[in-house]
């Protein structure tokens, strides 16, 4: 690992390129500001490949420009008949071999990182006492929301992934309806959630999200999945391990120990919402609708709307208006304004962090 | 091209199927077409291999229990024999012996028909067992692979029947010689595909 | 059957075009059909860019946006780029090899009409109101879940059009194998002919998988199949494999003829033999071969495992080598030449840097772990538009200007041509260069809108302005076409003055039998050789004037394709209407009857008499 890093120092010239590439982008979702080992590995490959490719472009453009300026007919005269050269074996050999060498320079780290990033052998590992050594999260992608189950911890959440920093987090990825793709650009590359098989990969989160603009990293669905594909965002909260453990404990406690900000709202929830949405963080994946145990802690409503009570009421009234094609029914005719208000207040109060 | 030009076995060219430019074009074009067909069947085979024995949860059909090997063996024999009879027909085509060629082609067609009827019987039998097209991914891929082959056999039968009747009165010329010849190429191709189906689907399904 | 221009009524002219089997006319039909769909796909592209010019825009709805991207991709690939290239292949390749027609004129016509009706079928979805919406890749889980008939239009329409493409591929292969003039050995064939040859071979092997894939999709959606229904044991990844086993070679099917076009143009306007011709041919064949070995690089994130990803990553990078060889050979063709910057040459000059950009970003994505980041982001959108627009579309525009006089007998205006280039070229880079960064900044592709405050606003605005500039370029081209067609100033055999290949040795446009006498080919760039030796006619006859065998026109191809078109509607509405099944059966039966009629008809064509040819030649001043 350290050796690998040292190798990269050889390419310090590429630092210039870094500035060029990183000219913009926001740190909560830019692949150019990687916040974890996977993303950094991929960024290094980006620098290496861009460097090689820039070299190719410079050579081509140089020859091109010289040829274009030197051999214009306007200079050579209308009647000039150039020599009909057939070719040159030496030259042709040169521009076959040099690209092969360049490709090799790129191919070796490519293969290395392919295996490195594809290594999930530590996923099921347990220590001497039988406790899992690594955090595993089961991700289920649904139209158009994300469910995150922590099978070893007995808790489940949705829309906002909460993970500890500075350790490998392993993911089981599956889609419940159509294919989606799980992508946290700032932390590492994506992997598809297929409908028929579980994909496994890992990411490493090496920056606390609390310092970011919204306090979260942005996650995206990267595979066209229907009308609201563009809105299938999720957020990622990264916490230091002790805080993460606290969050887990609070989640585990949320079944018995719930904040009820509005009793009328809770009643409505029990009547109208509970068949699809759980308000306890204890459980497994497989719910019809997103788990709402930590709803009040979240950053967005439905993954993308600002986290305000007004937006929440609007959403419950007519979800199709905001996210066409999602499976939640409209409640504008079922619930009065007053009831909606109470329900929203109750939901905004659901919290494990306060 | 003169369709009425009369030949004798002596003036008949050695390779009547590619004696003119048009014939050569058809000859080469048909080979290429068969190349494309090979890829088509390869895709169907790959899909079948990926999906065989695969169905909804609690799926009760498997290649081992389903297939009727003796019946399929008879079908195989019929089709292999028909390939042989079409070779005889081509022998007579080369020798400008129209009547014998027609006869052997008719036999080829009858053998092909026998194959097809047995295949229809086989499919009905499976369907009666509940193994319908929509039953599972396995059934869809099985019927599509074997059925596409069967469809090719049916097309071949219509083709050769039309050829036999269309030319019955006027005999061989350099125009229809190519048609007869490409039909025989097609028929051999179908036969080869069947050999693969017999091996990959049936033998490997029951024994492997 | 004289070639003397006769005044024909509108009806007769129409009938002539509907029944034509003349490769030059079919070429023009392909060109016009493809051009129409190109404009349609362009309008769709503009709507896409207009929707994205600012965050939270509501020009189109989420569903309509997906319709637009799906139809834009499908239309541009299947109904615009390929048919237009087929147009040039049809119009030019037989001339380049000294042939009087293609090997199968009837099938050539059938291929065109199947493309036409397939394209029509696909686009009727707009009128019907249920449009394909699962992307041009139509990944199975989404395409099965898509409600309405949208995907049915996609599956059946492409099936019909794809059948036509397969026929065209076989036709070109046989034409090039069998119909070359005396002396036109394989290693003397112009590079456009070579690339047509290799692209056709790729069609032959790439389209059957598409046929099968679309068949599966059709049966899953309409006839109770279970290939992709995973609850029934099906597997959606099979679709992805099949689609890309077709889809990747498809990209090379498009780009190889583009390479051929630019090879002709570089050589012509540098007044110099193509540098390293044998290695150019070899590189073409190698690209064609490797094109089939790399499909899974579209699926790096699907979860095939590190071994598969590593193998396909390295194989993908390998393609850069023969492509690089081509680039350097073009540069060295210019080197030491006498470069005249005509409009076609301007496109060729624009192509080099644009395509190199597209090529290198392709290699970057070939690095599998890096692709995990770039895949399905705007980076890939930028990449394939650099290849397809920077390669294929620039080639199409170049060829339009280059071969216009040969196809239509008049020159496009050079000044307006250059104006088109400037707008299109600047617009193109403006639209797509910035999209690489949008990808880096985390913007996924195929999103119908985006929230503000993610740092994407300005880049999207720039991109949209670029798209408008491209549209201006195309409009100028259309104006150019109209003006020159109205003026219709006739041009000579070789209006560029530097023609090197056989098409420049005959009239513009050529008589319907192309060559009064079959030419004798004396080397690569045979016309150049003849001209250098003082033979102004440009070619030597290989044989004395004699009767020419020509095929008869036929309406059957149109009728046959129409039968499939009708059957398509039957299949689509089979389960929900009482007329569906009968219409399906009638349509297929109709097609079959047409086929049988053709088979039983014994249409062996006709002869143009020697005397008639001599009369023609005399009238034109006794050339040849």
What is the tens place of the pLDDT at every residue in B130-143?
A: 999 999 999 999 99
> Is C7's pLDDT higher than 80?
no
Instruction: State how far the Cα of C247 lies from the Cα of C232, in Å rounded to an integer.
Output: 27
Q: Is A140 left (phi over 0), alpha (psi -120 to 50) or beta?
A: beta
Find out whether C121 and C570 touch, Cβ atoms under 8 Å.
Answer: no
Any domain includes B33:
yes
Q: Do C602 and B133 touch (CB under 8 A)?
A: no
Tell the CATH topology of C41-554+603-619.
Answer: Cytochrome C Oxidase; Chain A (1.20.210)
Counting every residue, how long is chain B? 208
Provide φ and ψ at A265, rounded to 5°: -60, -40
- Closest to C151 (Cα-Cα) out of C131, C124, C127, C123: C131
Q: How many helices (H) and strands (E) does chain C have?
A: 22, 4
- Is A55 within 8 Å of chain C by CB? no
Find out whether C340 and A73 touch, Cβ atoms under 8 Å.
Answer: yes
SS3 track for chain B: CCCCCCCCCCCCCCCHHHCCHHHHHHHHHHHHHHHHHHHHHHHHHHHHHHHCCCCCCCCCCCHHHHCCHHHHHHHHHHHHHHHHHHHHHHHHHHCCCHHHHHHHHHHHHHHHHHHHHHHHHHHHHHHHCCCCHHHCHHHHHHHHHHHHHHHHHHHHHHHHHHHHHHHCCCCCCHHHHHHHHHHHHHHHHHHHHHHHHHHHHHHHHHCC
Find out whether B149 and B193 touch, Cβ atoms under 8 Å.
Answer: yes
SS3 content of chain C, % helix, strand, coil (to 5): 70, 0, 30
**Percentage above 70 pLDDT, chain B:** 98
Distance from CA of B1 to the nearest CA of C (A): 6
Contacts of C336 in chain A (CB under 8 A): 71, 82-83, 85
- Is B3 within 8 Å of chain C by CB? yes
Distance from CA of C611 to the nearest CA of A (A): 40
Q: Which residues pair with A136 in a beta bridge?
A: A170
C and A: touch, per 3+ CB pairs < 8 A? yes
| Residue C440 neighbours by CB distance under 10 Å | 25
Of C313, C339, C450, the CB nearest to A114: C313
Q: Do A224 and C446 touch (CB under 8 A)?
A: yes
> Is A7's pLDDT higher than 60?
no
- Is A93 within 8 Å of chain C by CB? no
**What tokens does A175 get?**
């889609």
Q: Do C104 and B25 touch (CB under 8 A)?
A: yes
Distance from CA of B182 to the nearest CA of C (A): 13
- Closest to B180 (Cα-Cα) out of B109, B80, B79, B75: B109
Q: Enter the DSSP assignment of C232.
A: G
Contacts of A228 in chain C (CB under 8 A): 62
Q: Enter the DSSP assignment of C182.
A: T
CATH of the domain at B198: 1.20.120.80
Instruction: State how far the Cα of B12 lies from the Cα of B177, in Å rounded to an integer.
Output: 11
Question: Which residue from B minimizes the CA distance to C221?
Answer: B134
Mean pLDDT over B177-200 rounds to 96
Report the DSSP pairing between strands A217-221 and A180-184.
Answer: antiparallel
Domain count for chain B: 1
- Closest to C168 (Cα-Cα) out of C33, C321, C2: C33
Mean pLDDT over C584-613 rounds to 90
User: pLDDT class for C9, splitting at 50, 70, 90?
Assistant: confident
> Is A168's pLDDT higher than 90?
yes
Q: What is the pLDDT of residue C582?
A: 96
Instruction: State how far the Cα of C22 lies from the Cα of C551, in Å rounded to an integer.
Output: 8
Task: State the burial class of residue B94 (Cβ atoms within 10 Å of its Cβ: 0-12, 13-18, 19+).
Answer: middle
**What tokens does C236 get?**
């959606």
CB interface of C with B, residues 244-263, below 8 Å = 245
Residue C410 DSSP SS3: strand
CA distances to C310, C312, C316 from C297, rounded to whole Å, are 10, 6, 7
Instruction: State how far the Cα of A66 lies from the Cα of C385, in Å rounded to an integer.
Output: 28
pLDDT in tens, C605-622: 899 999 988 888 888 764
A and B: touch, per 3+ CB pairs < 8 A? no
Does C509 sit behind a cis peptide bond, omega within 30 degrees of 0 on the bond before it? yes
* DSSP string for C499-515: --SGGGGS-SSPPTTS-
Q: What is the pLDDT of residue C90?
A: 96
HSE-up of B179 (CA within 13 Å, CB side)?
20
Q: What is the pLDDT of residue C624?
A: 42
> Is A313's pLDDT higher than 80?
yes
Chain-centre distance of CA A314, in angstroms? 27
Q: What is the pLDDT of residue C255?
A: 96
Measure CA of the first residue to CA of the last residue in chain A; give whole Å: 40
> Is C22's pLDDT higher than 60?
yes
| Residue C3 neighbours by CB distance under 10 Å | 15
User: pLDDT class for B175, splitting at 50, 70, 90?
Assistant: confident
Instruction: State how far the Cα of C268 lies from the Cα of C525, in Å rounded to an integer.
Output: 10
Q: Do C223 and B133 touch (CB under 8 A)?
A: yes
Distance from CA of B73 to the nearest CA of C (A): 28
Contacts of B175 in chain C (CB under 8 A): 602, 604
CA distances to B5, C24, C405, C505, C517 from C509, rounded to whole Å, are 37, 9, 7, 11, 17
Q: Do B43 and C223 touch (CB under 8 A)?
A: no
Q: Enter the DSSP assignment of C309.
A: H
Q: Do C440 and A25 touch (CB under 8 A)?
A: yes
Mean pLDDT over A303-319 rounds to 94
Mean pLDDT over C541-559 rounds to 93
- Is B161 within 8 Å of chain C by CB? no
Enclosing domain of residue B43: 17-52+62-206
- Closest to C309 (Cα-Cα) out of A191, A351, A5, B164: A191
Contacts of C63 in chain A (CB under 8 A): 227, 324-325
Instruction: State how far the Cα of A253 lies from the Cα of A223, in Å rounded to an integer.
Output: 35
pLDDT in tens, B10-30: 888 888 888 888 899 999 999
Q: What is the pLDDT of residue A17?
A: 46
Which H helix or E strand runs over C548? strand C548-550
C36 Cβ partners below 8 Å, 6+ apart? Answer: none
Q: What is the pLDDT of residue A19?
A: 46
> Is A161's pLDDT higher than 60?
yes
**Percentage above 90 pLDDT, chain A:** 81
**One CATH from 2.60.120, 1.10.10, 3.40.50, 1.10.287 for A2-117:** 1.10.287
User: pLDDT class for A193, splitting at 50, 70, 90?
Assistant: very high
Residue C225 DSSP SS3: coil
Mean pLDDT over A179-183 rounds to 97
User: pLDDT class for A23, splitting at 50, 70, 90?
Assistant: low
- Closest to C620 (Cα-Cα) out of C490, C495, C487: C490
Contacts of A186 in chain C (CB under 8 A): 442
Q: Is C538 left (phi over 0), alpha (psi -120 to 50) or beta?
A: left
**Domains of chain C, residue spans:** 41-554+603-619
Count of CB contacts below 8 A, A vs C? 299
**Domains of chain A, residue spans:** 2-117, 132-354
Least confident of A6-10, B52-56, C332-336, C492-496: A6-10
pLDDT in tens, A27-50: 999 999 999 999 999 999 999 999
CA angle A249, A253, A257 (to 5 degrees): 145
User: pLDDT class for C4, splitting at 50, 70, 90?
Assistant: very low
Count of CB contacts below 8 A, B vs C? 114
What class does CATH assign to A132-354?
mainly beta
Mean pLDDT over A123-152 rounds to 92
**What tokens does B104 get?**
């052997």
CB interface of C with B, residues 210-239, below 8 Å = 211-213, 215-216, 219-220, 223-227, 229, 231-235, 238
Average pLDDT score, chain A: 90
Q: Enter the DSSP assignment of C198.
A: H
| Residue C544 neighbours by CB distance under 10 Å | 7
Chain-centre distance of CA C507, in angstroms? 25
CB interface of A with C, residues 207-226, below 8 Å = 218, 220-226
User: pLDDT class for A258, splitting at 50, 70, 90?
Assistant: confident
Q: What is the pLDDT of residue A216?
A: 95
Instruction: State how far the Cα of A181 lies from the Cα of C376, in Å rounded to an integer.
Output: 9
**Percentage above 70 pLDDT, chain C:** 98
SS3 track for chain A: CHHHHHHHHCCCCHHHHHHHHCCCCCCCCCCCCCCCHHHHHHHHHHHHHHHHHHHHHHHHHHHHHHHHHHCEHHHHCCCCCCCCCCCCHHHHHHHHHHHHHHHHHHHHHHHHHHHHHCCCCCCCCECCCCCECCEEEEEEEECCEEEEEECCCCEEEECEEEEECCCEEEEEEEECCCCEEEEECCCEEEEEECCCCCEEEEEECCCCHHHCCCCCEEEEECCCCCHHHHHCCEEEEEECHHHHHHHHHHHHHCCCCCCCCCHHHHHHHHHHHCCCCCCCCECCCCCCCCCCCCHHHCCEECCCEECCHHHHHHHHHCHHHHCCCCCCCCCCCCCCHHHHHHHHHHHHHCCCCC
> Is A13's pLDDT higher than 50?
no
Q: Enter the DSSP assignment of C273.
A: P
Alpha-carbon torsion angle A328, A334, A335, A337, nearest 10: 100
Instruction: State how far the Cα of C317 lies from the Cα of C365, in Å rounded to an integer.
Output: 9
pLDDT in tens, C431-446: 999 999 999 999 999 9
Q: Do C242 and B43 touch (CB under 8 A)?
A: yes
Question: Which residue from A minimizes the CA distance to C274?
Answer: A86
Q: What is the pLDDT of residue C617?
A: 82
Any domain includes B142:
yes
Q: Which of B21, B41, B47 to mutate to test the interface with C (most CBs of C within 10 A)?
A: B47
Q: What is the pLDDT of residue A24?
A: 63
Question: Which residue from B minimizes the CA distance to C604?
Answer: B1
Contacts of C209 in chain B (CB under 8 A): 39-40, 43
Q: Do B137 and C212 touch (CB under 8 A)?
A: no
C139 Cβ partners below 8 Å, 6+ apart? Answer: A179, A223, A224, C236, C239, C240, C243
Average pLDDT score, chain C: 94
**What tokens does C367 get?**
């690095």
- Is A20 within 8 Å of chain C by CB? no
- Is B31 within 8 Å of chain C by CB? no
């Amino acid at each position: 690992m350290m050796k690998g890093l040292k190798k990269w120092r050889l390419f310090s010239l590429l630092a210039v390129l870094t500035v060029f590439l990183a000219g913009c982008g926001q740190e909560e979702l830019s692949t150019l500001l990687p916040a974890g080992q996977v993303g950094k590995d991929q960024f290094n490959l980006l620098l290496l490949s861009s460097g090689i490719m820039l070299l190719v472009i410079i050579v081509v453009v140089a020859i091109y420009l010289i040829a274009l300026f030197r051999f214009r007919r306007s200079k050579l005269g209308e009647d000039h008949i150039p020599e009909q050269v057939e070719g040159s074996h030496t030259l042709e050999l040169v521009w076959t071999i040099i690209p092969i060498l360049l490709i090799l320079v790129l191919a070796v780290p490519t293969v290395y990182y392919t295996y490195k990033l594809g290594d999930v052998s530590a996923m099921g590992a347990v220590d001497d006492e039988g406790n899992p050594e690594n955090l595993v999260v089961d991700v289920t992608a649904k139209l158009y929301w994300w469910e995150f189950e922590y099978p070893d911890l007995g808790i489940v959440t949705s829309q906002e992934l909460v993970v500890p920093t500075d350790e490998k987090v392993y993911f089981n990825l599956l889609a419940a309806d159509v294919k989606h793709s799980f992508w946290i650009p700032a932390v590492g590359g994506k992997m598809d959630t297929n409908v028929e098989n579980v994909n496994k990969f890992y990411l490493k989160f090496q920056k606390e999200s609390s310092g970011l603009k919204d306090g979260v990293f942005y996650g995206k669905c990267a595979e066209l999945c229907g009308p609201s594909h563009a809105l299938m965002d999720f957020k990622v909260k990264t916490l230091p391990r002790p805080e993460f453990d606290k969050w887990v404990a609070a989640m585990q406690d949320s079944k018995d120990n719930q904040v009820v900000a509005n009793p009328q709202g809770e009643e409505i929830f029990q009547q109208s919402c509970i068949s699809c949405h759980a308000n306890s963080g204890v459980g497994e994946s497989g719910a019809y609708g997103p788990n709402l145990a930590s709803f009040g802690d979240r950053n967005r409503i439905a993954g993308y709307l600002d986290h305000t009570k007004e937006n929440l009421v609007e959403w419950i009234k007519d979800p199709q208006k905001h996210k066409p094609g999602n499976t939640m029914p409209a409640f504008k005719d079922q619930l009065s304004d007053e009831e909606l208000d109470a329900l929203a207040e109750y939901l905004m109060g659901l919290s494990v962090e306060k | 091209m003169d369709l009425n030009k009369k030949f004798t076995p002596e003036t008949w060219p050695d390779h009547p199927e590619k004696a003119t430019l048009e014939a050569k074009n058809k000859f080469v074009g048909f080979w290429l077409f068969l190349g494309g067909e090979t890829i088509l069947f390869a895709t169907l085979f790959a899909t079948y291999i990926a999906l065989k024995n695969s169905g909804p949860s609690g799926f009760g059909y498997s290649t081992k229990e389903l297939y009727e090997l003796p019946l399929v063996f008879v079908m195989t024999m019929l089709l292999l024999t028909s390939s042989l009879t079409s070779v005889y027909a081509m022998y007579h085509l080369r020798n400008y012996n129209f009547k014998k060629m027609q006869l052997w082609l008719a036999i080829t067609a009858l053998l092909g028909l026998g194959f097809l009827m047995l295949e229809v019987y086989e499919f009905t039998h499976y369907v009666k067992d509940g193994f319908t097209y929509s039953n599972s991914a396995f059934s869809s891929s099985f019927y599509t692979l074997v059925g596409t082959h069967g469809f090719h056999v049916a097309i071949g039968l219509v083709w050769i029947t039309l050829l036999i009747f269309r030319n019955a009165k006027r005999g061989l010329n350099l125009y229809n010689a190519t048609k007869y010849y490409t039909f025989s190429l097609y028929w051999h191709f179908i036969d080869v595909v069947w050999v693969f189906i017999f091996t990959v689907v049936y033998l490997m399904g029951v024994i492997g | 059957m004289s070639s003397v221009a006769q005044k024909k009524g509108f009806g007769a002219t129409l009938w002539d075009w509907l029944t034509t089997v003349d490769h030059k006319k079919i070429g023009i039909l392909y060109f016009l059909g493809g051009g129409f769909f190109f404009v349609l796909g362009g309008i769709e592209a503009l709507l896409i860019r207009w929707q994205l010019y600012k965050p939270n825009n509501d020009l189109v709805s989420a569903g309509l946006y997906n319709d637009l991207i799906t139809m834009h991709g499908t239309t541009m690939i299947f109904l615009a780029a390929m048919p237009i290239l087929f147009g040039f292949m049809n119009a030019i390749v037989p001339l380049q090899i000294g042939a009087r027609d293609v090997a199968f004129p009837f099938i050539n016509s059938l291929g065109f009409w199947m493309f036409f009706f397939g394209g029509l079928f696909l686009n009727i979805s707009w009128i019907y109101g249920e449009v394909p919406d699962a992307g041009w890749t139509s990944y199975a889980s989404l395409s099965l879940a898509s409600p309405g008939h949208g995907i049915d239009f996609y599956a059946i329409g492409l099936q019909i059009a794809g059948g036509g493409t397969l026929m065209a591929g076989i036709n070109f292969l046989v034409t090039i194998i069998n119909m070359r003039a005396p002396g036109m050995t394989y290693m003397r064939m112009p590079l456009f002919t070579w690339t047509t040859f290799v692209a056709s071979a790729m069609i032959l092997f790439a389209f059957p998988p598409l046929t099968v894939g679309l068949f599966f999709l059709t049966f899953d959606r309409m006839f109770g199949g279970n290939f992709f229904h995973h609850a029934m044991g099906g597997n959606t990844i099979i679709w992805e494999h099949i689609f890309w086993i077709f889809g990747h070679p498809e990209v090379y099917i498009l780009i190889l003829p583009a390479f051929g076009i630019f090879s002709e143009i570089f050589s012509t306007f540098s007044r110099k033999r193509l540098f390293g011709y044998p290695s150019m041919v070899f590189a073409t064949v190698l690209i064609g071969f490797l094109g089939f070995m790399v499909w899974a690089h579209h699926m790096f994130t699907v979860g095939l495992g590190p071994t598969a990803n590593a193998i396909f990553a390295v194989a993908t990078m390998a393609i850069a080598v023969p492509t690089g060889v081509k680039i350097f050979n073009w540069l060295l063709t210019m080197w030491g030449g006498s470069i005249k910057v005509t409009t076609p040459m301007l496109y060729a000059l624009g192509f080099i840097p644009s395509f190199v950009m597209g090529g290198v970003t392709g290699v970057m994505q070939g690095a599998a772990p890096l692709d995990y980041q770039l895949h399905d982001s705007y980076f890939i959108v930028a990449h394939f538009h650099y290849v397809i627009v920077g390669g294929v579309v620039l080639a199409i525009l170049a060829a339009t200007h280059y071969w216009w006089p040969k196809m239509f007998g008049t020159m496009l205006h050079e000044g307006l041509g250059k104006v088109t280039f400037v707008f299109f070229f600047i617009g193109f880079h403006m639209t797509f260069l910035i999209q690489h960064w949008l990808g880096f900044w985390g913007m996924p592709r195929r999103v119908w809108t985006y929230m503000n405050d993610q740092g994407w606003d300005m880049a999207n605005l720039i991109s949209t302005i670029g798209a408008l500039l491209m549209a201006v370029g195309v409009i100028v081209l259309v104006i150019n076409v109209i003006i020159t067609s109205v003026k219709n100033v006739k041009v000579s055999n070789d209006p560029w003055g530097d023609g090197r290949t056989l098409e420049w040795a005959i009239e513009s446009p050529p008589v319907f039998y192309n060559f009064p006498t079959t030419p004798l080919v004396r080397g690569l760039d045979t016309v150049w050789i003849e001209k250098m030796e003082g033979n102004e006619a440009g070619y030597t006859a290989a044989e004395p004037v004699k009767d020419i065998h020509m095929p008869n026109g036929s309406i059957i191809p149109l009728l046959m394709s129409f039968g499939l078109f009708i059957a398509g509607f039957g299949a689509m509405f089979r389960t929900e209407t009482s007329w569906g099944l009968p219409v399906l059966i009638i349509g297929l039966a109709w097609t079959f009857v047409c086929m049988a009629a053709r088979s039983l008809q014994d249409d062996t064509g006709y002869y143009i008499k020697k005397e008639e040819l001599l009369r023609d030649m005399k009238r034109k001043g006794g050339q040849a």
